[in-house]
Amino acid sequence: MRRGRPPADSPAGPLTYVLLVVTIALSALPLYWMFVVGSSGEEDVFRLPPVTTPGDELGENVRAVFAADNVFFIASLLNSLFVAIVVTLSVLLFCSLAGFAFAKLRFRGRGPLMLFLIVTMTVPNQLGVVALYIVMGKLGLNGTPAAVILPGLVTAFGVFYMRQFITDAVPDELIEAARVDGATTLRIFRSVVAPTLRPALGVLGLLTFTATWNDFQWPLITLGGSEYPTVQVALSNLASGQYVVFSRLLAGALLATLPLVIVFVIAGRQIVTGIMEGAVKN
């Protein structure tokens, strides 16, 4: 179109904006429709042409979801919140400690261990679910939140991400100086490294929280029969009942999505930069 100018330099024309607006509309459409149906009465769902504007029965549908006698939705929401917070805090702590060690400390085996860690980033945990279920069974943890939390406590991506950040953010001289002053390694972490970590912790925390909140397969396997599963599993229970009430189902989907949409509206900018930074350095 704009023959003769490199793309990064050329200002976006009207066509570009139209394309982007259409793309974003398509991105948001399912979410919007979730809201439309979730706030409509059940009879409106089967109307042709389909409903396109929100109704006024959202409160009723939400109340019905909470009152469903086979799915304890509020408890599941709280359970998800608990699991996601514990996992996020643990990932932030352990991954920054390990990231610091790989970024700034010298020790035998550092190279091979880091290589091993990078290789594990490509190993999908989900492929070990059968054995993981057996392990959790031997520990007596299947059906409890611990079964969901334990495998999430650390991520290779988290270590890798923190290592990249610390390598760039903390000058070696600062660490040498602290050592010369007699600070221990832990002290250096607390007083020199930790204060610089805020932006990275924010991004990694958001990504971890989102992924944990949205996880489905492993929670379904280990918590499928439990009374208080995570909210995504509770949602799938709502969807597979004898009589599915669509307006309630989508109100439930809305509830399972809402916390993340709120997080995204507040901190979406950080998530975007986080994904882009994680990608460049790969």
- Contact positions with another protein (CB under 8 A) in 58-97: 94-95, 97
Q: Using an 8 Å Cβ cutoff, are 158 and 204 in contact?
A: yes
- Amino acid at site 124: P
Contact 145, 79 (CB under 8 A): yes
For residue 200, CA distances in Å to 89, 96, 252 come to 13, 9, 33
With CB under 8 A, what is the number of residues at the site for another protein?
110
Contact mark string toward another protein, 1..40, x via CB under 8 A = xxxxxxxxxxxx---xx-xx--xx-xxx-xx-xx--x---
Residue 242 makes contact with another protein by CB under 8 A: no
Question: Shortest Cβ distance from residue 189 to another protein (Å)?
Answer: 8
**DSSP one-letter code for 13:** -
Q: Among 68, 75, 81, 271, which residue sits at the site for another protein (rule: CB under 8 A)?
A: 271
206: tokens are: 């958001």
Q: Which of residues 165-194 bind another protein (CB under 8 A)?
A: 179-182, 184-186, 189
The angle, 0 to 180 degrees and rounded to 10, between the axes of the packed helices 231-239 and 73-104 is: 140
Shortest separation between residue 282's beta carbon and another protein, angstroms: 5
What does R_g of the chain's alpha carbons equal in angstroms?
Answer: 23
Q: Binding of another protein at residue 53 (CB under 8 A)?
A: no
Q: Which stretch binds another protein (CB under 8 A): 58-66, 71-79, 131-139, 165-173?
A: 131-139
The answer to whether 43 contacts another protein (rule: CB under 8 A) is: no
Q: Is 282 in the site for another protein (CB under 8 A)?
A: yes
How far apart CA 135 and CA 195 sit, in angstroms, is 38
Cβ of residue 134: shortest distance to another protein, in angstroms? 6
Cα–Cα distance for residue pair 204/200, rounded to 1 Å? 6
In the complex, least distance from residue 57 CB atom to another protein, rounded to whole angstroms: 17
CB of 60 to another protein, least distance (A): 19
Per-position b or e across 133-155, b if 16+ CB within 10 A of its CB? eeebeeeebbbbbebbbbbbebb
In sequence order, the 6+-apart residues with CB closer than 8 A to the CB of 191 are: 178, 183
Report the site for another protein in 210-239 (rule: CB under 8 A): 210, 213-214, 216-217, 220-221, 224, 232-233, 235-236, 239
To another protein, the closest distance from the beta carbon of 29 in angstroms equals 9
* Residue 246 engages another protein in binding (rule: CB under 8 A): yes
Residues 67, 115, 123, 266: which binds another protein (CB under 8 A)? 123
Is-contact 208 223, C-beta < 8 A? Answer: no
Please tell me whether residue 103 binds another protein under the rule CB under 8 A.
Answer: no
- DSSP secondary-structure letter at 69? S
- Does position 269 interact with another protein (CB under 8 A)? The reply is yes
